[in-house]
Amino acid sequence: MKVLIVNGSPRPKGNTACALEELAAQLKANGIDSETVWIGNRPVRGCIACGQCAAEGLGRCVFDDDVCNEISGKFAGADALVVGSPVYYGQPNGALLSIIQRAFYSNGGRIAGKPAAAVAVCRRGGATAAFETLTLPFQMMNMPVVTSQYWNIVYGRAPGEARLDAEGMQTMRALANNLAHLLHATGGQPAPGRGDEPWTPMHFIR
């Protein structure tokens, strides 16, 4: 089984990378493979609500000039998803949010029902708000949200400083252990979701 890890920091070797590397190492110790994809530091488009991905059943965003489709193209081969981000003004990196929104809308069926977890990395404050924001899309996609011994938060300012956060690193290992346990227990099978019950969308306007 394999976990797709998305590093949502513009810095490839910053503190978000440190946290995710600790997670990946512990997953490996539990017999779970992982692949980490860095979103990079090039411009990322936001969703323009054109609807073409859904209308034409593309399975990808119509805009193919950034990393979004590369990441969503890996959904089918992943048994779980972990997304990590630095905290900017109490929120996740905006580029990462744009990628999540576009990838889930255009190709979310390939990741729906699979376990997911979010990791927030900050200097001092705002991590819980960013962490909560990152988990909201998972719940809409029927993805079991994997927990740890604490909120999945790691602290650090200078690159590499996160490794000095002993509790944060322990939280990453506990998260990896819980994720590996869930994957082993379910055999990597996604949650059943709505099953055969038709979706009943409500817009409150008839």
pLDDT over 80 at 205, yes or no:
no
Torsion, Cα 197 50 4 188, to 10 degrees, reads: 10
For residue 66, tell me if it sits in a domain: yes
Please report whether residue 202 resides in a domain: no
Does 198 map to a domain? no
What is the structure's pLDDT at 178?
A: 98
**For residues 52 and 64, is the Cβ–Cβ distance under 8 A?**
no
Span 175-198, average pLDDT: 91
The answer to whether residue 109 sits within a structural domain is yes
pLDDT, position 200 = 84
196 located within any domain: no
pLDDT on residue 206: 64
Q: Give the mean pLDDT of 111-126.
A: 97
pLDDT tens figures, 63-100: 999 999 999 999 999 999 999 999 999 999 999 999 99
Instruction: State the pLDDT at residue 77.
Output: 98
CA distance 74 to 112: 13
Residue 50: φ, ψ to 5°: -75, -25
Residue 201, CA distances (Å) to 22, 111, 204, 205 in order: 40, 21, 9, 11
Query: Left if phi > 0, otherwise alpha if psi is -120 to 50, otherwise beta: which for 40?
Result: left
Task: Identify the CATH number of the domain in which residue 26 sits.
Answer: 3.40.50.360
